[in-house]
Amino acid sequence: MKQSGIIRSVRGWFVTVALGLALAWQTAPAEDQLELVFDIADVIAVPGETGVAVPVYMSNLQDTVEGFDIWFVLANSWLATLQPEVDTQGSLIGGWESLLEQQYTPDLIDLKVMADADNGLPPLVPGIGYPQYGETPLFVIMADILDIDDSVTERTVPLVLRTAPASNFSVYNEISMPLGLSLDSVLDTAYFRCEYWAPPPDEGICLSWARVSTPPFDSMSVGWDHYSWVDTVEKVQVSHGSIHVLRCGDVNGTDDKINLSDITQLVSYVYLDGDPPASLWAANVSGDVEQRLNLSDITVLVSRVYLDGLPMNCQ
């Protein structure tokens, strides 16, 4: 196999320098590296409901948040859609100067939210100072529920914050330094085949190299490729949210079933000033247009659970 002497010597130097750079880029882990915490609320809704509010909370523990570009996706499209705008009233970004929302899917199950505290013109609008522990929503996503039938068994819609690839997630401080990212390195081996060797007396010198992925090859080089990724192991913690669509008669809203526990809670609420139902709609099985809960609803619910009798008509 022919090989240029220059290529062989440069290859050894390159590997040594690349290893040194890779080691220099590695930093000792801090005692507490957690920078960002995102928590999307779990909410309940009823069939056909519009404007269901899903709060998104963020804690920034190590640095100021000056802006972000984050993307949310519903895990299925047969239960709900997302509205094209978020609600910022009373939120952490309520006074920010730049806000842009975009949707990319035709079935409206995604929403990308891009925001900056300040547009560069006076007066200065500050970002979100730290440490800040997410007691106030970052903003509120609005969803619309499809008018699904009670026979639908899968009634929970996960709402996911996308963190991979890193291009889908960007949070940065006041000097545009990204937060929540880690740097990693992978060893990359490149193979080259000589397309044209110099004629004698310089026949050991290649005049034209081409990179190849399979043998045969005439030379190779080894180096490190560096890339950034959203570090959901140590720096970013995400709790995805969900929207659960109640079934008519599911008074307690806890098990997606209609049984004695729903009757018990309804009786307790109507006569003993007990806990309210998860939704007036789900408990209003008699179909009262003013959603007044009383003995009629208890009668219908008992009939449905034990006698398979009176139909339910939630309104």
Q: How many Å apart are CA 305 and CA 90, to the nearest integer?
A: 43
For 113-160, what is each residue's pLDDT tens digit?
A: 999 999 888 899 999 999 999 999 999 999 999 998 888 888 899 999
Q: Tell me how long the chain is.
A: 315
Band (pLDDT 50/70/90 cuts) for residue 3 is very low
Residues 189 and 148 sit within 8 Å (Cβ to Cβ): no
For 81-106, what is each residue's pLDDT tens digit?
A: 999 999 999 999 999 999 999 999 99
Domain ranges of the chain: 5-28+188-224, 36-180+233-245, 247-315
Q: How many Å apart are CA 233 and CA 210, to the nearest integer?
A: 39
Band (pLDDT 50/70/90 cuts) for residue 16 is very low
Q: Is the pLDDT of residue 167 over 90?
A: no
Q: What is the pLDDT of residue 253?
A: 85
Q: Mean per-residue pLDDT for 161-173? A: 92
Amino acid at 65: V
For 282-295, what is each residue's pLDDT tens digit?
A: 999 888 888 899 99
Q: How many Å apart are CA 200 and CA 191, to the nearest integer?
A: 25
Number of Cβ atoms within 10 Å of the Cβ of 36: 24
Q: What is the pTM of this model?
A: 0.77
Q: How many Å apart are CA 96 and CA 85, to the nearest integer?
A: 15
Q: How many Å apart are CA 220 and CA 214, to the nearest integer?
A: 12
Q: How many Å apart are CA 266 and CA 71, to the nearest integer?
A: 40
| Domain 36-180+233-245 fold | Immunoglobulin-like (2.60.40)
For 118, 275, 295, 302, the CA distances from 269, given in Å and listed in that order, are 49, 6, 11, 15
Q: How many Å apart are CA 99 and CA 48, to the nearest integer?
A: 29
For 199-215, what is each residue's pLDDT tens digit?
A: 988 888 999 999 998 88
Band (pLDDT 50/70/90 cuts) for residue 38 is very high
Under CATH, to which class is 247-315 assigned? mainly alpha
Residues 239 and 38 sit within 8 Å (Cβ to Cβ): yes
For 212-240, what is each residue's pLDDT tens digit?
A: 988 899 998 888 887 788 999 999 999 99
User: Does residue 271 sit in helix, strand or coil?
Assistant: helix
Q: What are the percentages of helix, strand and coil residues in the chain, rounded to 5? A: 15, 35, 50
Q: How many Å apart are CA 9 and CA 5, to the nearest integer?
A: 6
For 41-75, what is each residue's pLDDT tens digit?
A: 999 999 999 999 999 999 999 999 999 999 999 98
> Which candidate, 168, 181, 166, 137, places its Cα nearest to that of 39?
137
